């Protein structure tokens, strides 16, 4: 039977983007709107906090040490010891209403991150049909070149790849959908976009996601307090209720990659109890009987 534990009661404003590092045996995550990077051991001990000067959408560790960041002010390289930032490109410079959000590294070491609008409102159900959106998905190659991969997002989320690298998944929290694409690992290009799952009709919506060794997709349902596991054809396989409604993102980790970590949101939101126990904390789920895949470091 699965056991859910509050691992670090960090009270993040907007906890996001957990990344398990198999080399260091540590978990990293961010507090997006506080401009903070957090880190701990598998059991939640030895907590460290690092700082950046602006919103941080996502991060990944680098082969050369430190991290690559998707900040509100663009892509950047980061040194943990000195907290030094080196900016390497900002494709959002002409879009002041958008910032970077979720991101991950493919298995060739490329960093993918998408953008979201600052005025994103997932609880606004008065709009029957959401507009396409001006957000985009970008790829940062190891040589630090930036390429626009796809467009039309309002709040980009949930990037992850199938174990065979042939399918790329990503979602949009305002569109309440996850899409699947054909993926070319050699070039980092996507094609044949199609809807994978939809949360239309639910209060909850899609947030961070990951893939397990069986090729099943796990998705955090922000506003809904649950994690859903989907088969590769989009069928609901398993639903796990969690103790906080604003769960934001998930990642397998631990020595055997069989612990499912999840981040959460602590900031008040309409319809959510302001003193919900554990809100903004880092949680761990043990005993799922499932393992995840190791995350690749950014090759640049």
* Binding residue numbers for substrate: 99, 101, 119
Among 102, 172, 199, 207, which one carries the catalytic annotation?
Answer: 207
For 60-94, letters b (16+ CB in 10 Å) and e give bbbeeebbbbbbbbbbbbbeeeeeebeebebbbee
DSSP 194-222: EEEEE-TTSS-EEEEEEEBTTS-EEEEEE
On whether the CB atoms of residues 112 and 160 are closer than 8 A, the answer is no
d(CA 220, CA 236): 13
CA torsion 144-93-15-293 (nearest 10°) is: -30
* Binding residue numbers for a divalent metal cation: 16, 157, 207
On whether the CB atoms of residues 103 and 71 are closer than 8 A, the answer is no
d(CA 195, CA 181): 9
* Binding residue numbers: 16, 99, 101, 119, 157, 207
21 is catalytic: no
d(CA 38, CA 160): 21
Which residues carry out catalysis? 207
């Amino acid at each position: 039977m699965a056991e859910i534990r509050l691992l670090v009661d960090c009270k993040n404003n907007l906890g996001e983007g957990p990344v398990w590092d198999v080399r260091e045996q540590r978990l990293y995550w961010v507090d997006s709107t506080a401009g903070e990077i957090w880190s701990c051991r598998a059991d939640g001990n030895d907590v460290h906090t690092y700082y950046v000067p602006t919103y941080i959408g996502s991060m990944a560790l680098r082969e050369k040490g430190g991290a690559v960041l998707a900040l509100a002010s663009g892509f950047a390289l980061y040194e943990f010891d000195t907290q030094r930032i080196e900016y390497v490109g900002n494709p959002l410079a002409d879009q002041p209403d958008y910032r970077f959000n979720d991101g991950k590294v493919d298995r060739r070491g490329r960093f993918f991150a998408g953008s979201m609008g600052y005025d994103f409102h997932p609880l606004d159900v008065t709009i029957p049909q959401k507009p396409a959106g001006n957000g985009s998905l970008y790829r940062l190659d190891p040589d630090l070149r930036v390429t626009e991969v796809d467009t039309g997002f309002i709040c980009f989320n949930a990037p992850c790849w199938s174990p065979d690298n042939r399918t790329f998944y990503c979602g949009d929290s305002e569109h309440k959908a996850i899409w699947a694409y054909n993926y070319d690992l050699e070039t980092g290009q996507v094609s044949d976009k199609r809807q994978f799952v939809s949360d239309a009709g639910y209060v909850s919506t899609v947030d961070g996601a990951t893939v397990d060794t069986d090729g099943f997709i796990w998705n955090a349902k922000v506003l809904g307090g649950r994690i859903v596991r989907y088969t590769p054809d989009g069928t609901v396989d398993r639903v796990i209720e969690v103790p906080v409604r604003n769960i934001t993102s998930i990642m397998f980790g631990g020595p055997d990659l069989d612990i499912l970590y999840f981040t959460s949101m602590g900031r008040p939101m309409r319809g959510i109890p302001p003193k919900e126990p554990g809100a903004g904390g880092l949680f761990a789920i043990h005993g799922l009987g499932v393992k995840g895949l190791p995350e690749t470091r950014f090759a640049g």
